Structure 1
């Protein structure tokens, strides 16, 4: 998997999904009970490392930003934490962050720019600025908007062997038809799959 620079920056996105395509359970946006056994597996941690290594910009929705940036900075300095967790945490703290929010007026995090504009417009502009991948970090609403605009170049997906029977779906009806190439796959001991798909253009 290669990274692009300049106007050709890759827009990448990561998300965990159940077998029935849900990114959370039927209890609402914070219902990750079915996912809990898998998120700290070896395969999930390897996938996390894979997704950020070439990324220089993190794109987040406000809710995820508040959750991630309330948790990960303390992991960066925790020597008892898994080295892969520390690597991701340090990257998240140090990298440029773009956070979509309608309510925040001032970013409470360093190296963060708040935006209140359509995701597709903002990310299309980012593609023409700087170098390195743009990682949309587990923010389903942003990923959906970018899929609708056909702006996603690579998908990092964790697929967990659970059927939740309810919850939000990533791939909703109405998306444009697109083709993808399987660039990497890894299977974990619990039956979880890490897959990387690249957009065929």
Structure 2
């Protein structure tokens, strides 16, 4: 049975996206490549995306399989990114999305429940704020893997938006990176007596 891991990064003031949905990647280093991306992809058996993040990642990673001069070709985990099965949540995509992916149906909790039954291992959700908040509202996230960036963005779209159920979390691990970012791992505490 699979577990759903929400893997995201946020500014110290809690923003996941810049204004107008602008993507702002974290400062990168070998330390992050090993202990953030490498760690996640070493565990992942399936990836879950929202449409925007899926299309962005597909355009970056897919060329690594055929073009040795592409930016992704030199990244050690490019083959893993391209080979992992993926599920995409989208209201606008149709047909075969490619990149070893399938489109999810409209019932998010049912789709995640199906994946948890079918995937033997961890399912990593790499999505934007819309997908992250939809997963949290449905209370289907089993683990939060959050990188807090040493930046204050001032505005944008928050990771934790209103409308989520109250819940208890249990700290699993922390790690500091050489970029000044910090990774936090929390498990959803579903023990009796914990908040629903």
Q: TM-score range with shorter-chain normalisation?
A: 0.7 to 0.9
Residue aligning to 1:42: 30
Measured after TM superposition, the shift of residue 154 of structure 1 is 0.9
RMSD: 2.4
Q: Which runs of 5+ in 1 are unaligned?
A: 1-5
What is the rounded CA distance, in whole Å, between the counterparts of 2:72 and 2:106 in structure 1?
A: 36
Aligned residues: 188
Residue aligning to 1:11: 4
Correspondence 1:138 to 2:130: no
What is the rounded CA distance, in whole Å, between the counterparts of 1:157 and 1:84 in structure 2?
A: 26
What is the rounded CA distance, in whole Å, between the counterparts of 2:76 and 2:107 in structure 1?
A: 32
SS in 1 for 2:76: helix
What is the rounded CA distance, in whole Å, between the counterparts of 2:160 and 2:74 in structure 1?
A: 29
Q: Alpha-carbon deviations, 1:139-162, whole Å to 9, x = none?
A: 332221111121111111111111
* Contact residue 60 and residue 98 of structure 1 kept, 8 A: yes
- Distance verdict in 2 for CA 1:61–1:80, change over 3 Å: closer
Correspondence 1:107 to 2:99: no
- Distance verdict in 2 for CA 1:119–1:44, change over 3 Å: farther
Q: TM-score, normalised by structure 2?
A: 0.85
What is the rounded CA distance, in whole Å, between the counterparts of 2:126 and 2:8 in structure 1?
A: 7
What is the rounded CA distance, in whole Å, between the counterparts of 2:22 and 2:88 in structure 1?
A: 19
- Distance verdict in 2 for CA 1:109–1:83, change over 3 Å: closer
* Contact residue 15 and residue 138 of structure 1 kept, 8 A: yes
Residue aligning to 1:199: 188
* Contact residue 156 and residue 196 of structure 1 kept, 8 A: yes
**Residues 20-169 of structure 1: pairs in structure 2 closer than 5 A:** 20-26=13-19, 28-32=20-24, 35-36=25-26, 38=27, 40-45=28-33, 46-75=35-64, 78=68, 85-87=75-77, 89-169=78-158
* Contact residue 102 and residue 116 of structure 1 kept, 8 A: no
Measured after TM superposition, the shift of residue 60 of structure 1 is 0.6
Measured after TM superposition, the shift of residue 75 of structure 1 is 4.1
SS in 2 for 1:23: strand
Q: Which runs of 5+ in 2 are unaligned?
A: 191-196
Q: TM-score, normalised by structure 1?
A: 0.83
Task: Answer with 183-192 or 162-171: which moved more.
Answer: 183-192
